[in-house]
Amino acid sequence: MSTLLLVDHLPIVRDGLRAVLERAGHQVLGEVDNGLDALEQCRLLHPQVVILELLVPQLGGLDLLRRLRASHQGIKLLVYSVQEASLYAARSLQAGADAYVCKSEALGHLHSALQALSHGRSYFPREVARQDLDGAGEDDLTQLSGRELTVLQMLSQGLSNKDIAEQLSLSYKTISTYKARLHQKLKVGNDFQLLEVARSHGLVAGDEASRAQAPSSDPQLLREHGLLRALLDAAPYPMFVRDLAGRLLMCNRRYLAYAGESFEAIHGSTIDQALWLPAPLRERSRQRFTEAVARQEPFLAEAVIEHLGEVVAMHIWCTPFRDQSGQLVAMLGGMRDLTERDRLLSTLRHEGAEARYESHLKSSTLAAVSQELGQMLAVFRTAVQRLLALSDEPLRPALQSLAEHVQAMYQCLAKVDALMDQDDHPGQAQRAAHDLGNLTEAILAPVRQQLQARGCELDLGPGLRALQSAWIDARHYRQLLEGLCGYLQLRPLPAHLSLRLATRIQPRGLLRLSLELTPWYPALEQAPCEVSAYATLQRLLLRLQGRAQTLAPDDGDTLVLRVEMDLPQVLADSAQ
> pLDDT digit string (tens) for 242-269?
888 888 888 888 888 888 888 878 888 8
Instruction: State mean pLDDT over 161-178.
Output: 82
Within a domain: 545: yes
Within a domain: 523: yes
Within a domain: 153: no
Within a domain: 173: no
Q: Give the domain CATH number at 97.
A: 3.40.50.2300
CA dihedral in degrees (224, 227, 230, 232; nearest 10)?
A: -60
Same domain, 263 and 357: no
Amino acid code (one letter) for 65 = L
Measured in degrees and rounded to the nearest 5, phi and psi for residue 430 equal -115, 95
- The dihedral of CA 238, 239, 240, 244: what is its sign? positive
Q: What is the DSSP string of 518-555?
A: EEE-PPPTT-HHHHHHHHHHHHHHHHTTEEEEEE--TT
Same domain, 229 and 327: yes
Work out how many domains the chain is built from and give that number.
4
Domain endpoint, select from 107, 135, 163: 135
Residue ranges of the alpha helices (H) in 187-324? 191-200, 207-213, 219-223, 225-234, 253-259, 263-266, 279-295
Instruction: State mean pLDDT over 130-146.
Output: 56
Confidence of residue 140 (pLDDT cuts 50, 70, 90): low
User: In the prediction, which pLDDT does 526 show?
Assistant: 65
User: In the prediction, which pLDDT does 223 show?
Assistant: 44
Q: Which residues contact 323 (CB under 8 A, 6 or more apart)?
A: 220, 221, 223, 224, 329
Same domain, 463 and 405: no
- pLDDT of 222 > 50? The answer is no
- pLDDT of 157 > 80? The answer is no
Element (H, E) at 335: strand 328-337
Q: Counting every residue, how long is the chain?
A: 576
Mean pLDDT is lowest, of 135-149, 172-186, 257-271, 453-467, for 135-149
200 in helix, strand or coil? helix
Confidence of residue 426 (pLDDT cuts 50, 70, 90): very low
567 in helix, strand or coil? strand
Domain range enclosing 296: 214-337
Within a domain: 166: no
Q: Which of 110, 105, 117, 121 is nearest to 49 (CA)?
A: 117
Same domain, 249 and 357: no
Exposure string for 104-129, b = 16+ CB within 10 A, e = fewer: eeeeebbeebbebbeeeeebbbeebe
Contact 34, 67 (CB under 8 A): no
User: In the prediction, which pLDDT does 72 show?
Assistant: 87
Same domain, 492 and 439: yes
Q: Give the domain CATH number at 283.
A: 3.30.450.20
221 in helix, strand or coil? helix
Q: How far apart are CA 474 and CA 518, in angstroms?
A: 23
Q: How far apart are CA 539 and CA 22, in angstroms?
A: 84
Within a domain: 202: no
Instruction: State mean pLDDT over 389-413.
Output: 80
Start-to-end CA distance of the chain, whole Å, equals 81
Q: How far apart are CA 228 and CA 333, in angstroms?
A: 11
- pLDDT of 573 > 70? The answer is no
User: In the prediction, which pLDDT does 204 show?
Assistant: 52
Within a domain: 387: yes
Confidence of residue 436 (pLDDT cuts 50, 70, 90): very high
Exposure string for 443-465, b = 16+ CB within 10 A, e = fewer: bbeebbebbeeeebebebeeebe
Domain endpoint, select from 135, 158, 180: 135
DSSP 327: -
- pLDDT of 386 > 50? The answer is yes
Q: Which residue has the higher pLDDT, 321 or 576?
A: 321
Rounded (to 5) percent helix, strand, coil in the chain? 55, 20, 25
Same domain, 218 and 97: no
- Mean pLDDT is highest, among 407-421, 451-465, 541-555, for 451-465
Average pLDDT over the chain reads 80
- pLDDT of 212 > 50? The answer is no
Same domain, 242 and 318: yes
Within a domain: 457: yes
E-strand ranges in 33-106 read 49-52, 76-81, 99-102
Domain endpoint, select from 395, 423, 451: 423
Count of helices and strands (H, E) across the chain = 21, 17
Same domain, 439 and 560: yes
Same domain, 409 and 461: no
User: In the prediction, which pLDDT does 162 show?
Assistant: 81
Same domain, 436 and 564: yes
DSSP 395: G
- pLDDT of 137 > 60? The answer is no
Confidence of residue 219 (pLDDT cuts 50, 70, 90): very low
- pLDDT of 28 > 90? The answer is yes
Same domain, 10 and 107: yes
User: In the prediction, which pLDDT does 202 show?
Assistant: 59
Share of residues in the chain with pLDDT > 70 (%): 84
> pLDDT digit string (tens) for 77-91?
999 988 777 778 888
Same domain, 367 and 463: no
